[in-house]
Chains A and B, each alone.
Chain A
Amino acid sequence: MSVQPGPRVRLAGGLLLWYGVLGGAVAWAVHVLAAWSLDELACAAGSDHVSGIPLWQALGVAVLVPALAALGSLLVAALVWQRTARARSAGTDNPALGRSRMLAVVGIWANLLFLAIIVLGGVAVLVFPPCQR
């Protein structure tokens, strides 16, 4: 007999699942908005520093932090996929299982895509001087 999880556990599980599905997308959105606006506004103001920090370092943070968040999201999606695979092989008959498994597959591939975009942005930070036009 399986024990039904309590409401808090279910809420946490649901939130974790959605982090696994959409975490990479949100991380990329933060990356592109932060990196682009830092570069654009600092350069338009004629400065290569943001609050005393060199612009390239600030841009590095706008790449690294979202990249780590996307990586975490990828790991969560992979974990969900692995658990649903295990539950399926154990013969669990739960209609939500197929749905969770599909969302996990979508999450894995989506996070890989968003991580790739963030990494490419990071390469550009290493290659280009921030204000070169």
Chain B
Amino acid sequence: MSTTTSTAGGIDRDDLARLAEHWDEPRSLRAWFTTVDHKKIGRRYLVTAGFFFALAGLSALVMRTQLARPEAGVLSPDEYNQLFTMHGTAMIFLFATPMLFGFGNFLVPLMIGSRDMAFPRLNAFGYWVFLFAGLFMWASLPFGAAPNNGWFAYAPLNQEQHNPGLHMDVYALGLLFLGISTTSGAINFIVTALKLRAPGMSLNRVPLFVWAIVATAFMVVFALPALNADNAMLFLDRRFGTHFFDPGGGGNVLLWQHLFWIFGHPDVYIIVMPGLGIVSAVLPAFTRRGVVGYPLIVLAIVAISIVSFGVWVHHMFATGLPQLSYSFFSAASTIITIPSGIQIFAWLATMLLGRLVLRTPLLFVIGFIVTFVLGGFTGAMFALTPFDQQVTDSYFVVAHFHYVLLGGALFPILAGIYYWLPKITGRMYHEGLARWAFWLFFIGMHVTFFPMHLIGLFGMPRRVYTYRGGLGWDVGNLISTIGAYLLAVSLLLTLIGVVHAVRRGRPAPADPWEGDTLEWSAASPPEPYNFPVIPRVHSLHPTWDERTAESTTTGATEDRILSEGRRTLFTSELDARSERAAEMPEPSFKPLVLAGALLVFFISMLLAWYPIAIAAVVTVAATLAAWLWPVRRPDEELGVAS
């Protein structure tokens, strides 16, 4: 309990000093490896995902250079196979989801008025696993052993007899390894959002970005086991001679596709949903009003998360299943456009009814709406079985999913980078440079991917390393390649803008945009403890709400200051009623050691060093035991205090 006079209202210097003492981490190499601070981990996710994005983007540039003209010789077929597989796999698994988890890590505790994630050490562990899994997969490329079967790795081509070497072992083990990070991160988000919301933040006051992250986390928890099962069976087939996907041994080729797409279609929304959350977070600041139709956007988030699990067979409309079976999935694929449409109309109405402030984050949001709607339009076309069967495996599909993924994830990510850069770094970015980056990105995106619709309809199949001239594909491919270079320049400008902001940007105030969510009531960058006083939330727009602001100044009470120890407040799941203060864990090496032991395990399995794999398993078990060994908790926390 605080020994100061803060009960009478307000927080004093002693409280602040104690908070700093309990939450500050020294600047040292040890602290770098042991940190459990969600903001540092969030920043690391963003930077690491950005690094993997650069690698995947460079792979795309090399491929586009190869395809710029017919029968070019920049790449061999084998190199091309590895590059397009790593491009897709890295963009999906190592960039989009971790980048958005990075935003979630940094922002969710700030938006809900908490001092950290629910499981800070699990959070650190998730990051290290993500880093190691990404390096594990990319390291295979210089050895010519990178995955080479496309990002969805269909059977039977993924089997040892058709695809010898380590390529698909790297794929199966790499994704299994990464899945540990994604699953632990998802569980952490769910518990954090359910138990650590500031008092008063009932479900109808939760920011839309947090709704989106929680929905994404639930999708991950339900979807990822299918992919993990698929990859485990693939590895067993390849390494130990089982026959899960071998019809000759009683297996089934379509089993791979079913399991992959049970994960894969929700994964489209796993990627896009946090992006949609970013759009809902950015709009209020630049329209000077709340997003129109809050309950309907919550409905859209919930409905999309659920329906996305019932549309997977539309990826298999060309596999010869009964027409009636297709119809059940076709119906869901058609209806899922309604909640997506609800969100689009809600954002348009918000812009129509608000007062627009045309800064770079809003430009990216407008770019998102244009691009995502076009991608959604061709998506609705795929829900119709006869059309889908005509364009399956053509460049039309490549155009469609790049419109959806760049539109639904990359535009919002860039909007989010510019929007939250002042909060993350404490520095403002250069607006002129950012606008150049936006326009080049917008133009580059459409110049790259629009022609792919046409060359796809003209019959160009996807995943070909070259093509003969005179088939009507030459001009479209050349334009696409020019667009790809424009995109690269725009992203380079974005990187320069971020570096410029960090080094030379003017200091950012706490709330440069007059945003409505709680992160804007914290300092820029936030203190290690986020909030000196955990706010009491009185509305959906707490930063615009005087009573909420008052709760952290004159209305501050001891139960929300919690300066005695490294503590945050637990609240009830539905209505965020105060329950108790909880002690949060200190920094630790254990997450890093556990992730390192897992890395050794996966490398050993890849290279068939089984005794070392067994030693790694023992290390994992010992580290887990040390991690989970019960520590003495204060009586108050155990609920036995008098």
Which residues on A are within 8 Å of B, measured CB to CB?
A: 25, 28-29, 31-32, 35-36, 39-40, 43, 59, 95-96, 98-99, 101-103, 105-106, 109-110, 113-114, 116-117, 120-121, 124-125, 127-133
Contacts and interface: CB of A to CB of B under 8 A. Distances in A.
A99 B204 contact: yes
Given A95-B202, A120-B331, A128 B324 contact: yes
Interface of B: 200, 202-205, 294-296, 298-299, 302-303, 306-307, 309-310, 313, 320-325, 327-332, 334-335, 338-339, 574-575
B322 A99 contact: no
Contacts of B325: 36, 39-40
B322 A133 contact: yes
A66 to B, nearest CB: 11
Given A128-B323, A130-B322, A113 B335 contact: yes
A110 B302 contact: yes
A132 B307 contact: no
A133 B325 CA distance: 10
A110 B324 contact: no
Contacts of B310: 28-29, 32, 117
Contacts of B329: 32, 36
B202 A96 contact: yes
17 contacts: A28-B332, A32-B329, A32-B332, A35-B328, A95-B200, A99-B203, A99-B574, A99-B575, A102-B204, A117-B307, A117-B335, A120-B331, A124-B324, A124-B327, A124-B328, A130-B324, A133-B323
B561 to A, nearest CB: 23
B226 to A, nearest CB: 14
A127 to B, nearest CB: 8
A95 to B, nearest CB: 6
B324 A95 contact: no
A40 B328 CA distance: 12
Contact of A125 (B299, B324, B334, B575): B324
A120 B575 contact: no
Nearest to A43: B322
Contacts of B575: 95-96, 99
A110 B335 CA distance: 11
A13 to B, nearest CB: 13
A113 B203 contact: no
Contacts of A116: 335
B43 to A, nearest CB: 33
Contact of B331 (A110, A117, A128): A117
B574 A96 contact: yes
Given A25-B306, A103-B203, A105-B299, A121 B322 contact: no
Give the 7 A-B residue pairs with the shortest CB-CB distance, closest first. A124-B327, A120-B331, A102-B204, A128-B324, A105-B295, A99-B202, A106-B299
A105 to B, nearest CB: 4
A123 B202 CA distance: 40
Contacts of A95: 200, 202, 575
A39 B202 contact: no
Nearest to A102: B204
A114 to B, nearest CB: 8
A132 B303 contact: no
Given A31-B328, A39-B322, 15 more contacts: A32-B332, A36-B313, A43-B322, A96-B202, A98-B205, A106-B295, A109-B299, A109-B303, A110-B302, A117-B332, A117-B335, A121-B327, A128-B323, A129-B324, A132-B323
Nearest to A107: B299
Contacts of A127: 327
Contacts of B338: 113
A16 to B, nearest CB: 15
Contacts of B328: 31-32, 35-36, 121, 124
A99 B321 CA distance: 44
Contact of B327 (A43, A98, A109, A128): A128
Most buried by A among B329, B330, B331: B331
Most buried by A among B202, B322, B338, B575: B322
A124 B324 CA distance: 6
Nearest to A32: B310
Contacts of A28: 306-307, 310, 332
B385 to A, nearest CB: 11
Contacts of A114: 307
Contacts of A106: 295, 298-299, 302
A120 B334 contact: yes
A96 B575 CA distance: 6
Contacts of B327: 120-121, 124, 127-128
